Amino acid sequence: MSAEQKMSAEPATRSEVFGQLRKELYGEEHSSGSDTHIFIILGASGDLAKKKIYPTLWWLFRDGLLPGDTYFVGFARSDLTVEDIKAACLPHMKVSDEESESLAAFFRKNSYLRGTYDDVSSFARLNAHLSSLPGGEDAKRLFYLALPPTVYHHVSTNIRAKCMSSRGWNRIIVEKPFGRDLQSSHELSAHLSSMFKEDQLYRIDHYLGKEMVQNLMVLRFGNRIFGPIWNRTSVAAVVLTFKEPFGTQGRGGYFDDFGIIRDVMQNHLLQMLCLVAMEKPTSTSPDDVRDEKVKVLKCIAPVAASDVVLGQYVGDPKGEGQSRLGYLDDPTVPKGSCTPTFASAVLYIRNERWDGVPFILRCGKALNERKAEVRLQFTDVPGQIFADRCQRNELVMRVQPDEAIYLKMLTKRPGVYFSPEETELDLTYKSRYKNVKLPDAYERLILDVFCGNQMHFVRSDELREAWRIFTPLLHQIEAEKKKPIPYVYGSRGPEAADELMKNVGFRYEGTYKWVKPHM
Ligand code: BG6
């Protein structure tokens, strides 16, 4: 049975499935000692914990993917009970009627402790609590920092001082923002690395947990056909897209401090770029893979403002509900804010494979659709014999929604004709893998932390390079306070972004139509 089938199959015993899956996916984990694990959620009362972390832990528990003796401990400032946490998380947990027993078992493994992040005695109490759990003294501990960056410093110091297991391993999971620029990120990295070793730190970029993002490596290095054309000779442009059809809607206060470049481009899109552009790693070991990603980043110069288009959405007077409201109408956004909610940027990788090929990164909120994809547009066919009626081939990996890989190509128009016509080789996952349940990105990533596999996590040197590329641009934007180009809620974004793509060589014909296959 493949690992994929196993993800969707009924679990046998919990530890059996976990053990098999772990062996298949990651090889034997060479660890000794207790098999008790404690997953500690710091910031248990927050949005991330409620919407993502607790539901993910529940799904992994329900599907038998966690070690049998796993305990979950919430920690936050609020005076809460496990019942309160359950009530807050339930709407996000998708529990069916048949699962109520299992859900009760999950919450029996949960406990909660109130404490203060900068108070070392709170962490001494947390440690006493962790040790008091069955097998707790010897347990392996996973600390998830679901917290605002303002308290990272205190929390990591206090974990290091008071909560480390002396017999089992300790792993720390951190979420972006990893600083605001090269300097602040460096300070945070220096602090964390003074407390923990790099192999204890799991920096999450949840795009690295998505099926199609992980698929990039297999597609590129598991097939003969793509290798010879994956370079500047055959690729005219690469486009990496992230679009969301909704605005900040009350989250504007947080967003405004960061903007779309820090929120999406510097991390999610740049990570995808690395996987598209890197050389073949010597092996699939996490450090071999990450070494190659770092090499790609080192070949990218800081983005120039002249290669960037910034936008900010305004309300659509003809729209309904939220779409009538622009970014500046969000009451949590400071008046007159110049923060971009849309950005398009062109990056060049100065190496032998990619020199001169534009990598176009586009991302935005309040656009016309929800979509994340990687698109390679190939160069024209040299020596055309079909009277210029051949559009360029494109290979598209659709990350979401509806995972798919498709290749836009030309065939003879079927029938009595002899003219070329655009069509596609289509691998839509829903039709090809009908019974496979694709796990959520967080499920895979949290499972990876249990298994000790850092391949899909960001290493500190990767992070440093990513900030090096974007920091000068971010500082310039903030110093100049230039108004971004307004675009209407629900549109494709500023027209200038399409112009930018065209100017660097991406060709949009507007002729291709995807036809739903006949059932
Ligand atoms: C987060 C951003 O990292 O990714 C959000 O902070 C964004 O602004 C989200 O909405 C998108 O994630 P997904 O998985 O829904 O595409």
**Contact in structure between 203 and 209 (CB atoms under 8 Å):** no
Among 47, 264, 458, which residue has the most ligand 1 atoms within 8 Å of its CB, making it the best to mutate? 264
Spatial separation of the C-alpha atoms in residues 507 and 30, rounded to whole Å: 51
What is the arrangement of strands in the sheet containing 420-428, beginning at the earlier edge strand? 420-428, 404-412, 394-400, 371-378, 235-243, 358-364, 342-348, 308-314, 485-488
Which residues, listed in sequence order, are joined to residue 153 by a DSSP beta bridge?
A: none
CA 518 to chain centre: 34
Residue 253 is predicted with a pLDDT of 86
Largest CA distance in the chain: 82
Spatial separation of the C-alpha atoms in residues 481 and 465, rounded to whole Å: 25
Pocket-forming residues, ligand 1, beta carbon under 6 Å: 206, 244, 263-264, 372
Ligand 1: nearest atom to the Cα of 400: 16
Per-residue three-class SS string for 68-108:
CCEEEEEEECCCCCHHHHHHHHHHHCCCCHHHHHHHHHHHH
Q: Whose CA is nearest to atom 4 of ligand 1?
A: 264
Spatial separation of the C-alpha atoms in residues 125 and 146, rounded to whole Å: 19
3 state DSSP class of 496:
helix
**Contact in structure between 216 and 397 (CB atoms under 8 Å):** yes
Among 212, 266, 268, which residue has the most ligand 1 atoms within 8 Å of its CB, making it the best to mutate? 268
Ligand 1 centroid, distance to 379 Cα (angstroms):
32
Spatial separation of the C-alpha atoms in residues 452 and 202, rounded to whole Å: 9
Residue 33 is predicted with a pLDDT of 56
**Contact in structure between 93 and 55 (CB atoms under 8 Å):** yes
3 state DSSP class of 243:
strand
- CA-based nearest residue to 111, from 100, 99, 126, 101: 126
Residue 10 is predicted with a pLDDT of 46
Query: What is the enclosing helix (H) or strand (E) of 404?
Result: strand 404-412
Ligand 1: nearest atom to the Cα of 441: 14
Query: What is the enclosing helix (H) or strand (E) of 427?
Result: strand 420-428
Residue 12 is predicted with a pLDDT of 53
Among 214, 244, 260, which residue has the most ligand 1 atoms within 8 Å of its CB, making it the best to mutate? 244
Ligand 1: nearest atom to the Cα of 263: 6
- CA-based nearest residue to 234, from 408, 388, 412, 394: 394
Residue 1 is predicted with a pLDDT of 45
Ligand 1 centroid, distance to 266 Cα (angstroms):
13
Residue 513 is predicted with a pLDDT of 78
Q: Whose CA is nearest to atom 6 of ligand 1?
A: 263
Give the CA angle between residues 92, 98, 102 to the nearest 5°. 70
Ligand 1: nearest atom to the Cα of 176: 3
- CA-based nearest residue to 261, from 212, 302, 224, 297: 302
Q: Whose CA is nearest to atom 15 of ligand 1?
A: 244
Marked catalytic residue, from 37, 129, 206, 268: 268
Cβ neighbors of 205 (< 8 A, separation 6 or more) are 176, 267, 268, 271, 457, 458
Buried b (16+ CB within 10 A) or exposed e, 412-433: eeeeeeeebebbbebeebeeeb
Ligand 1 centroid, distance to 435 Cα (angstroms):
27
Q: How far is CA 94 from CA 6, 99, 289, 442, in A?
A: 20, 10, 35, 15
Ligand 1: nearest atom to the Cα of 244: 10
Ligand 1 centroid, distance to 146 Cα (angstroms):
15
Phi/psi of residue 339, nearest 5 degrees: -70, 130
**Contact in structure between 296 and 214 (CB atoms under 8 Å):** no
Among 263, 367, 369, which residue has the most ligand 1 atoms within 8 Å of its CB, making it the best to mutate? 263
Q: Whose CA is nearest to atom 13 of ligand 1?
A: 207
Which residues, listed in sequence order, are joined to residue 490 by a DSSP beta bridge?
A: none
Phi/psi of residue 507, nearest 5 degrees: -110, 120
Ligand 1 centroid, distance to 240 Cα (angstroms):
15
Ligand 1 centroid, distance to 175 Cα (angstroms):
12
Q: How far is CA 477 from CA 258, 347, 381, 482, in A?
A: 12, 17, 40, 7
Ligand 1 centroid, distance to 395 Cα (angstroms):
24
Q: Whose CA is nearest to atom 9 of ligand 1?
A: 264
Which residues, listed in sequence order, are joined to residue 178 by a DSSP beta bridge?
A: none
Structure-token pair, residue 177: 């923002």
| Helix/strand/coil percent split, the chain, to 5 | 40, 20, 40
Structure-token pair, residue 461: 């040197």
Among 206, 313, 341, which residue has the most ligand 1 atoms within 8 Å of its CB, making it the best to mutate? 206
Residue 26 is predicted with a pLDDT of 46
Q: Whose CA is nearest to atom 2 of ligand 1?
A: 263
Q: Whose CA is nearest to atom 5 of ligand 1?
A: 263
Which residues, listed in sequence order, are joined to residue 398 by a DSSP beta bridge?
A: 373, 404
Structure-token pair, residue 186: 């460096």
Q: Whose CA is nearest to atom 10 of ligand 1?
A: 244
Ligand 1: nearest atom to the Cα of 267: 3
Spatial separation of the C-alpha atoms in residues 433 and 427, rounded to whole Å: 10
Positions of E strands within 226-339: 235-243, 308-314
Strand pairing category for 404-412 and 394-400: antiparallel
Ligand 1 centroid, distance to 205 Cα (angstroms):
10
Is 153 an active-site residue?
Answer: no
Ligand 1 centroid, distance to 290 Cα (angstroms):
23
Per-residue pLDDT of the chain (519 residues; tens, 9 = 90+): 444 444 544 445 555 655 666 566 545 554 455 689 999 999 999 999 999 999 999 999 999 899 889 999 999 999 999 999 999 999 999 999 999 999 999 999 999 999 999 999 999 999 999 999 999 999 999 999 999 888 999 999 999 999 999 899 999 999 998 999 999 999 999 999 999 999 999 999 999 999 999 999 999 999 999 999 999 999 999 999 999 999 998 788 889 999 999 999 999 999 999 999 999 999 999 999 999 999 999 999 999 999 999 999 999 999 999 999 999 999 999 999 999 999 999 999 999 999 999 999 999 999 999 999 999 999 999 998 998 788 999 999 999 999 999 999 999 999 999 999 999 999 999 999 998 889 999 999 999 999 999 999 999 999 999 999 999 999 999 999 999 999 999 999 999 999 999 999 999 988 887 777 665
Ligand 1: nearest atom to the Cα of 207: 14
